[in-house]
Amino acid sequence: MSNHDTGDHAGHSHGVTADADRRWLAIALTLITVFMAAEVVVGVLAGSLALISDAAHMLTDAVSIVLALVAMRLSARPARGGFTYGLKRAEILSAQANGLTLLLLGAWLAYEAVRRLIDPPEVEGGLMLVTALAGIAVNIAATWCISRANRSSLNVEGAYQHILNDLFAFIGTAIAALVVVLTGFARADAIATLVVVALMFKAGYGLVRDSGRIFLEAAPVGLDPDTIGDELASRPGVVEIHDLHLWTITSGEPALSAHVLVEPAGDCHAVRRDLQHLLRDHHRITHTTLQVDHLGEDPEDTALLDLAVPTDHCADAHGPVHRPGPHEH
């Protein structure tokens, strides 16, 4: 008897939460866009690279929020045609785009800051300070708005990191402006920019790394496939677990598939339910697909009746084989 069962595919609809997320993101987008337009004008008048860099960063903030809003709508579309998961990974594409823009913008600002360290221009410190303080207030409001959204989504987290870095940028700009006003040290503007660049690189790298892990089908952080495979193999009635794959569909949606061999006289349905409950209750994996077969049904696996003989059930099995007792990986 061969049993190819698909496990608990829990609904992942966000409903009211998704609508609330879109509302908070839209409010933050409005705040940022209005202030950004004003800041560009003031930055040019003050001759401040830190202000212009803040405005450029705010432009990427606005783009990141627009991407997040578009990705939310795309990912909410039902699966159809060749897109068997729907467009859920649009959110991960958005997060990766946010990370890349942080890295690219950071590289440009680093170049400009170094150039201004070598040959500092005149900076209007007073105008720079007033604008930076206003920017801090706007970014605190925008950061608060996005913090109210669901940050377990890598997509929303990408937009949040953009806004948070912009808040740090304005704080750095305000400090630099105060230094310029009190001491006339114009290079403080470029130094503040370099500090912000370091923060941008850190946030950008984190987003690119996390989104890259999802695109490369890596196991979610905190879930070890070998440990989970050993746990599954130790359950009553299980003879072997192989072809175990563990990946992330989109933020907060881990998925697992595996080929399970059970004892010749075992209840394959009961074993499958037991494994699904283990995955759901202990690891919060609700999207599972388990292929369950009785040992001995396939002529190729008769050698497995003697567990001392390590014979794979599948000719091209991927990954380690997990069996009860001592394990070889």
In terms of domains, do 109 and 35 share one?
A: yes
Question: Could you tell me which residues come within 8 angstroms of residue 62 by beta carbon, excluding any fewer than 6 positions away?
Answer: 29, 32, 33, 36
N-terminal to C-terminal alpha carbon distance within the chain? 28
Nearest to 261 by CA among 302, 310, 295, 227: 295
In terms of domains, do 258 and 154 share one?
A: no
Nearest to 318 by CA among 265, 242, 252, 250: 242
43 vs 60: CA distance, rounded Å: 17
Tokens of 35: 């202030």
In terms of domains, do 199 and 260 share one?
A: no
Four-CA torsion 281, 286, 291, 294, nearest 10 degrees: 20
pLDDT tens track for 225-283: 999 999 999 999 999 999 999 999 887 789 999 999 999 888 989 999 999 999 999 99
Given this model, what pLDDT does residue 225 score?
93
Please tell me the pTM assigned to this model: 0.72
Whether residue 325 lies inside any domain: the answer is: no
Domain end residue (candidates: 174, 190, 215): 215
Determine the structural domain holding residue 30 and report its residue range.
16-215
Among 55-64, 88-97, 242-251, the least confident range: 55-64
> In the predicted model, is pLDDT for residue 179 greater than 60?
yes
In terms of domains, do 28 and 43 share one?
A: yes
Task: Give the CATH number, domain containing residue 268.
Answer: 3.30.300.30
Query: What residues pair up with 290 in beta bridges, in sequence order?
Result: 5, 258
The number of angstroms, rounded, from the C-alpha of 261 to the middle of its chain's C-alpha atoms is 34
